[in-house]
Chain A
Amino acid sequence: MPKLRFPASLSGTKAVAATVKRWLKNPGDLLAKGDLLVELEVDEALIHIEAAGAGTLGTILAGAGVTIALGGDLAELSDAPAPVTTPSATQSTPSQNKAPAMSNSSAPSGPVTPVLMPQAGNSMEEGTVLKWRVKVGDQIALGQILYEVETDKATVEVEATDAGRLARIVAPEGTVVPVKQPVAFLAASDADVDAYLGGSREAVAETTATQVVEETRNSKLETRSESAVSAPASRTESGRVKASPAARKIAAERGVDLASVGAGSGPEGRILSTDVASAKAGARLAKPASSPAAGPGGVIRRPMSKMRKAIATNLQVSKQTVPHFYVTLTIHADPLFAFYRAQKPATGCTLNDVVLLAVGKTVGEFSAFRSRIDGNDIVEHPAANIGVAVSVEDGLVVPVVLNIERLTLAQLAAESKRVVESARNGKIENMGKGVFTISNMGMLGVEDFSAIINPPESGILAISAVRESVLVKDGAIKAGRVMTMTLSVDHRVVDGALAAQFMAKLKVLLESPEQLIG
């Protein structure tokens, strides 16, 4: 996939990076040589990037507000009008800048975009379509209000996250629709919708079954990948999400559904522009590679990819040979959250980075967590090299951050960012050098889960969402943020009491995070 990149050098300015101000073309637009594409700013000037030749603009990789370095990726180019994407595939850390390769659809029909019932709040399971504000045949613009839906909490106006022609409504007023299921379809013609519904129903069902976690573009679980705040968005009495004017603007520009940003950091949960800016837009997900024809009874057989085979083998060995033992602990997460917010401007850290630093220090202290079985020996490793589970298009990879016991928060933030981005681009850093792994599914709203140990390591820590809950202290009830973590250990190497001590120490560090930089 060819990419449009920021020039590698610029005359007329000393700047080595520029911030994108606005795009003047949209994905799907046809480009002619010389067309003005995007405006960026540096201190002393504006940078106007024009198209070098003809083509079609694909996915935008550096949106408004993103700072990119010389030579950095701006967008993808496609040869054909941008293909539509369907809900599927695992992305536990959605990235605004990474777009998986667009697959070629073999179907001759035009692109169809489903409009899905959004999940406005973590407890929402279904919604009742109350009133359609648009009708079949209308040309829908991004951000336009499509319909009103009633949930158990409130009545919500649903905004369009895609533009296009409304071709079919499949959930008339009064219908109850489960979240992430289609209520309508955008397409150039009705025939396209028929073809789409005929061919891809099986594919969607299949992927739902095989993937670990499902995320759809339209429902946009826009929780911040760094700090998975899962409190629902704060609303006014009329159901409008409370957000500042700046936040609304950025959300509209980036295609972010304000309802899924969750409670913001402004007064009374008001969403501020900084909350939206750190929420990453859902990755543009590809339709699964050309679906093989359905066999008898609609059953489809596909060979496993290399990655899928590797994951299957590894985890099966782990579960069948390693005696797993689990310890769960819930921490009071307000100090952690505040610490992360305070450190973020200077270090660029994510919430997960702070947790990773705490885990690194604790693994450094507890030698059993840096050890593995080899025959009749236990081999202890000196460094706290910790793997970070990263979800990629077809499964899961674990790049490793080395020597966390020696890193400052700023260094860790830079390194973790580097290895994660590298992993998404296909290169797994320091593979095989880890002694321990962390897996964070907090950004997906998960409250508690137990992870499978990555052999030959002796432990893995599963980190769940930072969520608002009831805290009880000295008999008094108050509201606050909590975060649940579950440790899985190999009981041949780590005994229960030691596992409990590890978690207790980790809890102390995470509840008083100033110690991490003292």
Chain B
Amino acid sequence: MTLLNAVIFLPLVAFLIILALPKDKPETIRVFSLVASLAVFLVSLGLIGPVWSSAPGKFAIETNQPWIESPAINYHVALDGISLWLVILATLLTPICVLVSWRSIDKHIKQFFAFLLLLEFGMIGVFCALDFFLFFVFWEVSLVPMYFLIGIWGHERRIYSAVKFFLYTMAGSALMLVGIIYLYNLAGTFDYTKILAGIESGAIALSPVEQLWLFLAFFIAFAIKVPLFPLHTWLPDAHVEAPTAGSVMLASVMLKMGTYGLLRFCVPMFPNAARTCARWIVILAIIGIVYGALVAMVQPNMKKLVAYSSVSHLGFVVLGIFSFTQQGFDGAVYQMLAHGVSTGALFILVGFLYERRHSLEIASYGGVATPAPWLSTAFMITMLASIGLPMLSNFIGEYLVLQGTSLVYFPWTVFAALGVILSACYMLWLYQRVFFGKASEDLTHHMSDLGFREYAIIVPLILLMVWMGTLTQSFLPPISASNAVLLGPIDASREIHAKTAPPHTPALTAHGEFANAR
């Protein structure tokens, strides 16, 4: 029993215990959920040491046990520098979500917290699984609790949104399942590391057509989850209708399952197909960045605004991945984490406002800064982080992505940077409309400042934003090491295109196709 297995299965155990608790004791259930999720978080911190001290870019804390004999399916989990932080992001946000839902969830409390922990189980599993079957199992398992979280505890249009969310993901994962089984029939194994090694060494021969179709099968499943324009339409619905904890989990962790899949599976396994499609994917990512920002600007609903800002920010992540540069990869992962923290915090703060005023419409606010100065300050810092202000978390990610892209094809950087400017527009404008101006009598009456529980929720996130924005080196080294490994297969084929690349920009050589495009 390694530490990692403990982190994976503790939430499942907690889920089962909550199911066994009596439903007429809500306080017990809340306290137990908090204690359990905090325990998972603390245990997960113990994962940092082993990953940090393992060989750079290699998997650590590995467990590889047969699960089903035929077809050979293994329980194969391990962590590298990328999945480590994503797991910790999930374990950090779960206790925070428990706290967020402390009072705002007032019906079916037991089931709510049970589903929250089941969700944590699924999400942690997705980031650790190195067996495709296992990965798929976790991928789908995380879908079910989220469906219930949105559908039972959401706002007015919750049922429509929950079903839409489920069906979108289901359709995507159906294609992925075909891809997984197809790969198995070729390789005779579901093991990611073996398949990857087989593809690199040529032991598993994929024709270009096969590679393209397999790439697309995986890519569509992940792109729906990210979500990449134009597959994003489920996201605003799901985010807006979900309860605060659901929105936080969805935006901060679940969307990363998509980008993580792209980075871990799609690109390294099918490098040639990835390169062939990269041009189109990058264009979609840039459209997503600009479109998400523009649509966010005109939203009258705060949650919808934050949701569209996610479309925009996740566009950066995809852009970074499909630049196929070290900086781009690093930036993408960093942006995944930073977005997880800052957007999670934004949803939480919007949730705080909602609890006070019971409205998500921007128009029903104004002058909140007067009655609730600390709430406004917290919102200010979070918003600035989300915009990408230097010294705060998102800046590092966006900067690295833009730098990586600029090494490949400069005009893209220009378009993508538009997104940064636009994000300042919609965020500052939102802030101005909600927090400045003269507060109405009615609003002042409802608007209390942060309470103790709310400080406990938001302060750690703000500290983390500052930490991630300043002491980058406490996070980046294992990420870079793992990215270098993932980048390998794409780099390996650089010779084919090397002659088209100018000699002074080595990163460009990893990107022959784009050099041609120029």
State whether these chains interact: no
